[in-house]
Amino acid sequence: MGLGLVLLFWGIAAVLAAGVVAAVLVAVVWFVARAKRRALRGWLVMAAVLPFASLAYAAAGFVAYAVYCEVVRDVDLGIGDSWRVPLGNGYRLVMVDTPDQAFVDAPRDRQLHFGLKRIGRAGDLVVGEDALTIFVIDTQRGTERTLSSESELEAAVPRPRSDKLQLLAPEQFYQAHRWGLLDGVAAAFIIGPPLVVFLMLARRFLGSD
């Protein structure tokens, strides 16, 4: 499933969810306002509009976050279909559909080492293991060598870089390098303001006579 279909799916799901939330809010406002004998029209309109206004704000925030991911960090959008993180100097770890289909995406549209089992990085060196061999890629020079066993890693990756090398399953390497503090900050900016507005309006509505 391509990125366009994924975005379409999440867009439809978000609009449907906003519609359900709007219906629930309108019902709650109607019953509470009737019980307190207060004016209905303004609050009903606000209850119907707020979920869709929040969705529009979140969509704009997600577009800005997507640009940051693609242009600044060179990572995927975090919404499924495919996953990728940079390995340095134009190399990337890519997974399509499932982690079992992980591979190294190299400059000039080369796809290397399908079926990665483990991968790690130490400076400009990328070390990995696929179904056939263990390999070391020098991303700065664009060269690669194969190893017959892990015991050869010490010679292929000299210290101090070898001390920092940790071979992980592709999905573990992805999780360790994809998400960080700035992603949490972005999520807070996307979700936080609509939530604060909702809580303020709810407090005002329930507290007014």
**Rounded distance, CA 74 to CA 103, Å?**
16
pLDDT at position 39 is 64
Q: What is the mean pLDDT of the chain?
A: 89
Q: Is 158 helix (H, G, I), strand (E, B) or coil?
A: coil
5-49 pLDDT, tens digit each: 888 898 999 999 999 999 999 999 988 887 777 667 888 999 999
178 against 207, higher pLDDT: 178
**CA–CA gap between residue 133 and residue 49 (Å, rounded):** 58
Residue 107 and residue 40 in one domain: no
**195 and 127 in one domain?**
no
Same domain, 113 and 186: no
Say if residue 114 is in the same domain as residue 157: yes
* Count: domains in the chain: 2
* Listed residue (37, 57, 34, 54) closest to 46, CA to CA: 54
Residue-wise pLDDT for 73-124, tens only, equals 999 988 877 899 999 999 999 998 787 889 999 999 899 999 999 999 988 9
Does 151 lie in the same domain as 130? yes
Share above pLDDT 70 across residues of the chain, in percent, rounded to a whole number: 93
What does residue 95 show for φ and ψ, rounded to 5 degrees?
-130, 130
107 and 63 within one domain = no
Lowest mean pLDDT among 62-76, 136-150, 161-175, 189-203: 161-175
Q: Are residues 168 and 89 in the same domain?
A: yes
pLDDT value at position 164? 65
The pLDDT > 90 percentage for the chain reads 64
Confidence of residue 130 (pLDDT cuts 50, 70, 90): very high
Pair type for strands 110-112 and 102-106 = antiparallel
Q: Are 64 and 116 contained in the same domain?
A: no
Could you tell me the residue range of the domain that residue 157 belongs to? Answer: 82-177
Judge if 156 and 112 occupy the same domain. Answer: yes
Considering the domain architecture, whether residues 137 and 64 belong to the same structural domain is answered as: no
Assign 1 a pLDDT band (cuts: 50, 70, 90): low
186 & 146 share domain: no
Verify that 87 and 172 share a domain, yes or no: yes
